[in-house]
Structure 1
C-alpha cells in the first residue's frame, strides 16, 4: 500500500522537475526519492514517469494520479494539524488581518461579544491588502484574515465566503473622463489608472491594469484620495467612496462601462488545521458583522 512519503516524493518530483530537486526540497538523498517512486509504481502497477529524457516526464497514468495524490497529501496535512491542536492549551492571542476594502464599521459590537465569551484572549489587528493578508496567513503571521476573494488560494489556506461588496469605476467630477462622451473602453487607456497593490505585484482580480499609465497605492483610502484629486480613474469599493459621491467630488462612469463594475465576494481565510474554539467564535462574529452590514 502506498505511503505519504511515496506520494510526497511523487508530487515534489512533478513540481520541481527532477528527482534531485525533489530530494533537496524534502531534505532527502536522491536515491530515497527514486526508491519511493519505484515502490509507488510497483504498488500501483503503473509507470508514472517516462525516464528516457534528461528530466522525468509524467505518463498518462502519472497525470491521472497527480490530483489524487495532492488531495491525499492536503488531507494528511489537515489531519496532522488538527491532531496537533488537540494537545495545545487554550490560545492566549489571536491576530486578525483585515483588508480595509471590506466594510467593518460594525466590527466593534461584534468584538464586544467575542470579548465577553473570551475575556482572556489578547487580540492583535493588522491592516493590509488582500494579497498581503494571504501571505500573512500562509506564513502564520496572522490567525484569521478577512479579504476580497481570490479565484485560488495557496494549498494550506482554507476559505469561507461570508458576504460581498460592490466595486465601481470612479473618477473625479473634474476629470476629463467625467466630461467626455465615452463610447468604448479603449478611451480609458488614454488616462492614468490608479491601482491597488505594489508595482511589482502579480495581477489579481481586483487590481487588473487596463491603462499603460498607472499609479499604485497599497490601500483603498489612498486610492480614493488620488481619484478625488483628479489624478486618475480607478475601480474601488463603492462604500469607501460613498461620502465623496454624496459631496459630488467623484462620479461613476456611464452605463456602457458597467462591465468593469463587479460584485466581489468577501472571504474569511485561515491556515489549515489552526482552528480552535476562540477562532471559531471570532469567525462567527465576523459572519454576523457581514450579515448586519447587508441590512
Structure 2
C-alpha cells in the first residue's frame, strides 16, 4: 500500500467539506482529480471510504475510523516540515529556560502567553533549579536562558542582564511570639526557629544577617512559605510571594534593624549566546520586565494558602 499525502489530503478534505466539489475548491484542484485520488486510496487500502449512493458522499464506518488516522498522519507531516524548517535556521525547534523559585511566576506566565502566540511550534522546556544548578546548566549548554537570583554573588563567565530587584522581608504568622514585638533584633530572631532554604543553594545563603539556632529547612521557597503561614517559625521571603498573605492577615512582616535586603533578578546566558528568533524574543520580553509591574499581576491561586 503506497498511499500519498495528496491522497490523504483529498480524503480528509472530502470528508470535512461533505463533497468532492467542496474538497476540490479547498485544495485548488479539479474535482475529477480529487475523486480519483480518493478512489485510488480506496483501491490501495481495499476499503470503501465513502458511500456514493446519495446526492453527497457519506463516510462509511470504515471511512469514519480511518479519517482520524489520516488526520493524524497529515498533522505529523506538517510537524515534520516545521521542524525541518527550524533546523534550517529559521526558528529553533526547541528552547530550554531554567529558573528558580525567586522568579515571579505570574509575570513569567504572562510573558509565555505572548511566546505561545508567536512560536506555537517551538517546544519549550521549563526547568526549576537552584542558582548553582541553573548556572551549571547554562555553562554546559543544557539550558539556553536562565532567570535566577544568585544568592552567593554574580558568577564569572556568563552574560548577565539585571531585570529587577527582589525585596526580601522577615515575616512570621500573627500567632508567632515575634509578631507581638515592635522591633525584633538579632538576639530575638536567634532565639526562635528559623525556616530556611536548603539544597544546593545552601541554607547559609538565605538573605538574613541572623541565623536561628533551631532550623526547619526545605529545598522549596513555597514550602518555607507554608511553614511560615502555619506558625512554625520566622522566615525571610520575597515580598511578592507573600503580598497576598500580608493582606489576608496570614503573615506579618517583622521590623528588623537593617533587615531589609534586595537582590537582583538576573537573566543569564552563555557569554556568546546562540539564540534563534524564539530565544531572542523570550530574552527581550523577560529583560523588559519591571518590578512595578508585579503589583498589577495577581499571584495565581495555586500558589496561595487557602483562606
For 2:240, the equivalent position in structure 1 comes to 239
Question: For 1:141-290, what aligned pairs fall within 5 Å after superposition?
Answer: 141-150=142-151, 152-180=153-181, 182=183, 184-198=185-199, 201=202, 203-204=204-205, 206=207, 210-254=211-255, 257-277=256-276, 278-290=278-290
Cα gap change, 1:151/1:158 in structure 2, threshold over 3 Å: closer, same or farther?
farther
SS in 2 for 1:187: helix
- Once the 2 structures are TM-superposed, how far is the Cα of residue 182 of structure 1 from its aligned partner? 4.3
Distance in 2, matches of 1:183 and 1:102, equals: 28
- Once the 2 structures are TM-superposed, how far is the Cα of residue 199 of structure 1 from its aligned partner? 7.7
Contact 1:227–1:250, Cα closer than 8 Å, also in 2: yes
Distance in 2, matches of 1:186 and 1:279, equals: 48
For 2:132, the equivalent position in structure 1 comes to 131
Contact 2:196–2:203, Cα closer than 8 Å, also in 1: no
Distance in 2, matches of 1:250 and 1:111, equals: 30
- Once the 2 structures are TM-superposed, how far is the Cα of residue 181 of structure 1 from its aligned partner? 5.4
Contact 2:172–2:231, Cα closer than 8 Å, also in 1: yes
Residues 245-288 of structure 1 deviation map (CA, whole Å, 9 limit, x = unaligned)? 1121210112xx14121122110011222332332211111123
Contact 1:195–1:209, Cα closer than 8 Å, also in 2: no
SS in 2 for 1:231: coil
Distance in 2, matches of 1:199 and 1:187, equals: 28
For 1:91, the equivalent position in structure 2 comes to 92
Distance in 2, matches of 1:181 and 1:200, equals: 31
Distance in 2, matches of 1:208 and 1:221, equals: 21
Distance in 2, matches of 1:263 and 1:251, equals: 19
- Once the 2 structures are TM-superposed, how far is the Cα of residue 172 of structure 1 from its aligned partner? 0.9
Distance in 1, matches of 2:199 and 2:174, equals: 27
Contact 2:184–2:254, Cα closer than 8 Å, also in 1: no
Larger Rg: 2
Contact 1:100–1:220, Cα closer than 8 Å, also in 2: yes
Q: Which moved more, 1:141-150 or 1:217-226?
A: 141-150
Q: Where does the alignment leave 5 or more consecutive residues of structure 2 unmatched?
A: 1-86, 297-307
Distance in 2, matches of 1:208 and 1:93, equals: 42
Q: TM-score, normalised by structure 2?
A: 0.60
Distance in 1, matches of 2:99 and 2:220, equals: 11
Q: Which moved more, 1:243-252 or 1:272-281?
A: 272-281
Distance in 2, matches of 1:213 and 1:97, equals: 32
Q: Where does the alignment leave 5 or more consecutive residues of structure 1 unmatched?
A: 1-86
